[in-house]
Structure 1
């Protein structure tokens, strides 16, 4: 079995590491290497490799843009090479797409290459499925990138950036919002409706018209009167959930492993 491969990475050290490992494998025929997205598109279109090691974070044209430009039907089997944290990598895991996180070991590389060979030996149908999975993973990452990761807060003449992961809950206050952290509260001029659109819905939920919570900071959810529920955050704050937020409640319970009490 001979597999033609292309390596795409703007970092020479990372690119050469993959090239070196591929050259140790007698089943791989290395077609070349590219240091940017534009040359990668050209090489994929004209050299038709069966396998591409594709860096996601490249200037000018990212790995995601390379895959989108080629399209699902023509995109070869792809191993994404990324420095993303594990949170982002779950997008690939959910779609069964192969990936390598920098820095990777020889053993991790070998395991990835074994999976790729198995997929390619399964035939064209598996290749088409893989292409669909690649685009699904890319779409998941695009949606993640569209959501804010930090919020700028003006304090006197200074601007402080708050990581959204540090937010416990958010309270509406007219045309401003109060952002509550474990160690204090900050106010910013923005409406609740505008802010909720910018937050990742997998991690933030509007449990009341005047309250957004960070799902990952929930300690417990308790039933209350007349179909209401009370959410207890890890800071000790208790928030009433509107009885009209039934879908939100089900998602919160699922996120907490099905437990509604401490």
Structure 2
């Protein structure tokens, strides 16, 4: 993956193509748009799967045919972690129907001109803006158990742990299990929570600090005293957010 480039906008974008020139052409076009923020590139489908799970980009340009792991393989592997806005890019038109069935917003057929690209980007930006305008993080989550229905305040949740197709909500000394995936909860809860591990998201306001362990790895220390390991893939975005939050206005 190439280093990310940042424009002045807020739409994070990932370009996935095994051809360096194709990636670069898309990146250059994207950098001309003031609404585009961070742009990252992946040269393989396997690499893209990891980046999408970690970074959760707003927009993904995805090549259909790549060695070993093509665009459709990427979507199948992601399962419920699918990006909301996907534009397929390919030199072959026979995959168009399957692409739209897989949830693609658009299908760019190589070689495409700047005008065709701009139309696809405009549609993507419209969809992203619509989602942002209508998305509202829930204030309460329903927890079902035999014979009762309990509502817990999102602000009271310390951290959330994945348990296969379930999630464990940790609230003080209590733990509630709900039938939701961690990725679904992370998407719905919004920026008040941050992922620190493949199986853990935490309430950002409950973080007291980071602590270096004897193993050389870091752990998040919550206000409750609970320590949760931070995996290396999530350390940088966590550190950047903590630094930003502590910087003077």
TM-score range, shorter chain: 0.3 to 0.5
Larger Rg: 1
TM-score (norm 2): 0.46
TM-score (norm 1): 0.44
